[in-house]
Chain A
Amino acid sequence: MKKGFRMMTALMAVCVTSAAVLTACSTKSNEPAKPSAGGAAQEAKPGSNLPPAELAMAFFTTSSQTQGIAAVQEELSKLTKAKINATVKLVPVSYGSYLQQMNLMQASGEKLDLFVSGLGQYSTQVAQGRLMPLDDLLNKYGSNIKKYVDAPFLDAARINGKLYSIPGIRDLASDRGIAMRKDLIDKYKIDVSKIKTFDDLDAVFKTIKDNEPGVTPLVSYQANSNPADTMLGTKFDNLDDGLGVMALDDSSLKVMNLYDNKFYTDTLNTVRRWYTAGYIPKDAAVTKDNANDLIKAGRAFSYFTTMKPGYAQQASRAAGKEIVTVSFSDPNIVTLNLTRFNWAISNNSKEPERAMMFLDLMYSDKDIINLLAWGIEGKDYVKKSDNMIDYPEGVTASTVQYGLNQGWLFGNQFLSYVFSPDPADLWQQMDKFNKGAIKSKALGFTPDMTSLKTESVAVMNVVNQYKNGLHTGTLDPQSVLPEFNKKLKDAGIDKIIAEKQKQLDEWAKTKKQ
């Protein structure tokens, strides 16, 4: 009896520990999509003398309409099978879990060849050795990438002289300006062509404030994009985090303290003037409302923002009211524009050559680009003219199966169709815009602040404490700015600036060689 019990209880304990494993092994409710067999019977192409391969390609999605991805994957694999004898497995991951998933997939050695790097983590990922250096691969298999991506843009993705990712061809530059409601501009006969500088806006704001009760003249674009941010963006390259910046027109590569600068004080004074005159809402520093919603509800007149070709049409649709824009600066490009969403090859990829060949197609093959950008013709879109497309009969933005709308993510957007009602020459405009933009002299420099982590956190905390208050005019710069600067110095901003300057000088030296 006693012995029987012992056996029994021991068995129970074993059950517990093994049950988890057993249930785990039982069934798998969902098999991963099999690589399509289609396209195997294609005629002989240059790719067919390569051994077959499968590429896993991860990217993020921000839409719930991802049902169409499986069909796109199948079509895509048919094309790539013929061209480089490889199938492509698309691994879409929700934006919210994307960085975490990439960390885990790479750390656990899951199959991953191509993925989108960036999202503020580019330099970290390079430092952790998770991205494959691409120079050799690019020279061998990336002739189209070299042809389509302008050399300075490609070089901007270099870290310590080595290339780890390929920037997309999309809206890389941006200019800063104001977006205003056209109905009110017309109503008060405001001459938009007379608005040249930020100071010309006082009169406009006054007209709105005096005549339109309930309409705020100027609101923040959204919670963390205040009027002063846009104004400062016309002058400075933030050098990654804004702690230590460089003037865009400065060729001597001098890192300086933004918060201790005359232009900064002037900007804050302007914003403060608007705030005290009642042109900016009283709760601007804390509100979470965004400009589009406020304009749609008829509560706001204008907002400052970063712009690009076609912006006014786009903003009009987003706000449900016609919008006119005035730009206050030439377009400019800083490093962050170029390292935001870049294609990288994972360091544990077993097929780096094939991955580069596929990347090369993503920058040059119109069929593949459009497949990834817009889905399948006839199902997800129909052609209206040579390069204009629209939804098919009965399909809308909220019912389309392949609703990613991320053409800017997949390589060369300028080879993709233009979706109506955007202007037909949108990509030509954009290309001109990019090429004509002022390039920061520090383009391609990404600082590594890990050695000053404590200081960075402390300084960031101080900035977060004051920024919204000062940048919306809620706090009086006269009394608060000295206090702000003292706290920044106490927290160690000078050390950060000195370190950044050192790194920037070293970077400049390597760049000349």
Chain B
Amino acid sequence: MGKTTKYGQWALHALFLLISAAALLPFLLLVSSSITDEQEIIKSGYSLFPSQISFAAYDYLMKDAEAILRSYGISVAVTVIGTIASLLMISLFAYPISRKDMPFRNGLSFYVFFTMLFNGGLVPTYYVYTQILDLKNTIWALIIPILLLNGFYVLLARTFFATSIPVPVIESAYIDGAGEFRIFFRIVMPLSLPILATIGLFQVIHYWNDWFNALIFVTDSKLFSLQYLLNKILLDIQFLSSSEMGGNQAEMIAALPKESVRMAMAVIGVIPILVSYPFFQKYFVKGLTVGAVKG
């Protein structure tokens, strides 16, 4: 190995160390602020190494543990059900329109493409889901609207099916006597793991991060998702600290560890994504290169 390459190597290492630090430090700051004493934050600001460690924020959240745990459960359930259901929906739509011998495939593809560009807007969406389908204040309101079938992912999956599943494989399965469903579930789906994992990860993140559906379709506090609850707590604190409240309320607000609670909730919110990411990683890399590699 030549000297220049060695220096180059070092320079690269240093660069990537810097980049990782830039990604890690804010998160560490978040974690350490969440365990900093509230008064300490007000006195001397955020710091990586807090001089006054306090778990008051987590204590506060524990007091509201029931609501937070429930919303956690809702978010997990919505993410799991939603991701599986949407993978099924997306591939069930994408596979037929990827087959050259499918009637109306162009029309159906256009239908997907068209909805990516134009939609009815918020009021019609709300009207259909609440008045016709009666989804308001049900768990389905967090799963079905907007998120379940994403046109872009349908087209992504269609491209994968069309380019990476060899037609001869399907034909030979026919000859061996397999029906369409068997071919789809036993041959096409296992061959498509990379794209399914890729879309799956995106959907996990979409479902986990979603607060908009809860904002629009849910008013029952039993069904609040974690992200919406976080959003709501922040807005409530904002409203309460901006208005003058009588008696008991004032005391309650005064006792609230506002800054550190925010941080603590962000920490709690990010854990599942941190945990699930490594499992998707290997498919993720593969999935994104699909389309560039032929044959």
Interface size on A, residues (CB 8 A): 74
A29 to B127, CA, bound (A): 20
- Closest CB in chain A relative to B85 CB, distance in Å: 8
A290-319 to B contact mask, C-beta < 8 Å, 1/0 = 101110110100000010101100110111
Cβ of B258 under 8 Å from chain A = yes
A422 contacts B241, C-beta separation under 8 Å: no
Question: Which of A5, A222, A289, A420 has a CB less than 8 Å from the CB of B247?
Answer: A420
Question: By the criterion CB–CB under 8 Å, are B246 and A422 in contact?
Answer: yes
Identify which of A109, A293, A308, A422 contacts B42 (C-beta below 8 A).
A293
Chain A residues near B221 (CB-CB < 8 A): 64, 66-67
Residue B6 is within 8 A (CB to CB) of chain A in the complex: no
Q: Is B251 a contact partner of A19 (Cβ separation < 8 A)?
A: no
Q: Is A44 an interface residue (CB 8 A)?
A: no
Chain B residues near A320 (CB-CB < 8 A):
254
Across the interface, which residues of A come within 8 angstroms of B129, CB to CB? 24
Q: Given A24-B135, A293-B42, A319-B254, list of 17 further CB < 8 A pairs?
A: A9-B102, A16-B92, A16-B93, A19-B92, A21-B133, A62-B239, A96-B231, A100-B216, A107-B126, A107-B127, A171-B244, A222-B242, A314-B245, A314-B250, A317-B247, A405-B245, A421-B247
Q: Are A30 and B137 in contact (CB under 8 A)?
A: yes
Q: Is A8 an interface residue (CB 8 A)?
A: yes
Within 8 A of B (CB), among A1-32: 1-2, 4-6, 8-10, 12-13, 15-16, 19-21, 23-25, 27-30, 32
Chain B residues, Cβ within 8 Å of A9: 96, 99, 102-103, 180
- Complex interface: chain A residues within 8 A of B137 (CB): 30, 32
> B113 to chain A: closest CB distance in Å?
15
A27 to chain B, nearest CB (A): 8
CA distance A117 to B99 in the complex (A): 55
Are A29 and B138 CB-contacts (below 8 A) given A64-B236, A293-B42? yes
- Interface status of A104 (Cβ within 8 A of chain B): yes
What does DSSP make chain B's interface, helix, strand, loop or mixed?
helix
Interface size class of B (residues with CB under 8 A): 35 or more
Flag if B89 contacts A317 (CB, 8 Å). no
- B236 contact from A6, A23, A95, A171, Cβ within 8 A: A95
Contact of B148 among A20, A101, A107, A292 (CB under 8 A): A20
B135 contact set on A, CB distance < 8 A? 24
Contact of B222 among A6, A23, A30, A294 (CB under 8 A): A30
Interface residues of B (CB under 8 A from A): 39, 42-43, 63-64, 67, 85, 89, 92-93, 95-97, 99, 101-104, 108, 122-123, 126-127, 129-131, 133-135, 137-140, 144, 148-149, 174, 179-181, 184, 215-216, 219-223, 231-233, 235-236, 239-242, 244-254, 258
Q: Are B216 and A97 in contact, CB atoms less than 8 angstroms apart? A: yes
Q: When the two chains form their complex, are residues B216 and A104 in contact, meaning their CB atoms are under 8 A apart?
A: yes
Q: Is A153 interfacial (CB-CB < 8 Å)?
A: no
Partner of A317, one of B181, B219, B251: B251
Verify if A482 is at the interface (C-beta below 8 Å from B): no
